[in-house]
Structure 1
Amino acid sequence: MGTGVRVRVGSALHSEVVEWMDAEAELLDDYREREWLEGMVSRDIVYQVPLRQTVERARGMGFLEGTFHLDETYGSLQSRVARNETAYAWAEDPPSRIRHFVTNIKVTDEGDGLVGVRSNLLIFRTRQDQTQPQLLSGERKDTLRREDGTLRLLHRRVLLDLTVIGTHNLSIFF
């Protein structure tokens, strides 16, 4: 998160952000990706999932600068959503069953209509008749921007806890 002022739990802004995050999770869980993209995501979005490696504590958290599992813009997110709406999205047809669990939401007011949000994320995913679910956990560092009175996702950085992602694809949205 930035250097903004921490927003107290229960304040109007904190409640608005929590409601925004709940609505986002619901849209993604319900495969309403177009509604999510057009209604909640800024056209200026930077959406990244950096690569992680296991390193000694003295070398930091192990995220490689400039190396990503996903490094998306609005255009690339739009392409992914459009592809999922066709009959050619074989990686997700039939679609995975997904639940986003978002917790530990911390909010900062960054000024100039920007809001910093730090949260923990657990994605529970099953596919077809698999008996073992796939779990993806990590931390999200988001920046929301107020655009025409509505909060929109401007920047998302997902810091996964995994160094090796044991899933058959990354066609989901974090």
Structure 2
Amino acid sequence: MLTTVDENLMLRLAVEDFFFTESALLDDGRFREWLDLVTEDIKYVIPVQTTRERAHGGSASSTTMAHWDDDYTGLEMRILRLDTEYAWAEDPPSKLRHFVSNVRVRPGSGADEYEVRSNVMVSRSRGDSRTTELLTAERQDVLRRTDQGFRLARRTVVLDHVVIATHNLAFFF
């Protein structure tokens, strides 16, 4: 019989396995397969970050501006565009590597839903450039358990950067 500690450990390992599979799909440019891992009611947001003095609340995510604010159709359109001649920002494709750590899981508000926070670092190199771009963030996700396994129902990417030192955000976190 599993104890609560064992159950929590097994849940975290299953969530981490989902994230590792997701990372491999994104790193390999298998975006259509990645889209199969999201729910049809997905909300995917990368809010703009602001910096303020501590007396005024310190750093925060904007509630009115976002780099991305997509639903399923928006994500699907981004992926379909990557297969066209108009995806100049990703032609040739970037070389990406996702590193996911510090996974924290707790029960969500819905049945079979979990709120998951994790840290992510994305390494990106483009073309023949000698430089590698590194972006770090906290991902605030809602994962939903389905008959097919976990599915991503919500993702908020809280960047650690106010000024983004990359030419574009034409990739997924």
What TM-score does the superposition give when structure 1 sets the normalisation length? 0.90
- Give the counterpart of 1:97 among 75, 86, 95: 95
The residue number in structure 2 matching 1:44 is: 41
Q: CA RMSD in A?
A: 1.8
- Note if contact 1:143-1:154 (Cα within 8 Å) is conserved in structure 2: yes
The residue number in structure 2 matching 1:67 is: 65
2 CA distance for matches of 1:63 and 1:138? 12
Q: Which moved more, 1:68-77 or 1:53-62?
A: 53-62
CA offsets 1:101-129 (integer angstroms, 9 cap, x no match): 10101111225100111000100001011
Identity of matched residues, %: 45
What TM-score does the superposition give when structure 2 sets the normalisation length? 0.91
2 CA distance for matches of 1:142 and 1:109? 12
Q: Which has the higher contact order (CA 8 A, sep 6+)?
A: 1
Once the two structures are TM-superposed, the CA of residue 11 in structure 1 deviates from its matched residue by: 2.1
2 CA distance for matches of 1:10 and 1:69? 34
1 CA distance for matches of 2:121 and 2:52? 23
Summarize the alignment of residues 85-164 of structure 1 with structure 2, pairs less than 5 Å apart: 85-110=83-108, 112-164=111-163
Tell me which amino acid in the other structure corresponds to 1:97. K
Once the two structures are TM-superposed, the CA of residue 147 in structure 1 deviates from its matched residue by: 2.5
**C-alpha spacing 1:66/1:9, structure 2 compared with 1 (3 Å):** farther
- Note if contact 2:51-2:58 (Cα within 8 Å) is conserved in structure 1: no
* Superposed structure 1 runs of 4+ greater than 6 Å apart: 6-10
The residue number in structure 1 matching 2:33 is: 35
The residue number in structure 2 matching 1:3 is: none
Tell me, which stretches of 5 or more residues in structure 2 are unaligned?
none
2:40 is aligned with 1:54? no
2 CA distance for matches of 1:16 and 1:166? 33
Tell me, which stretches of 5 or more residues in structure 1 are unaligned?
1-5
Once the two structures are TM-superposed, the CA of residue 7 in structure 1 deviates from its matched residue by: 7.4
**C-alpha spacing 1:157/1:7, structure 2 compared with 1 (3 Å):** farther
Tell me which amino acid in the other structure corresponds to 2:43. V
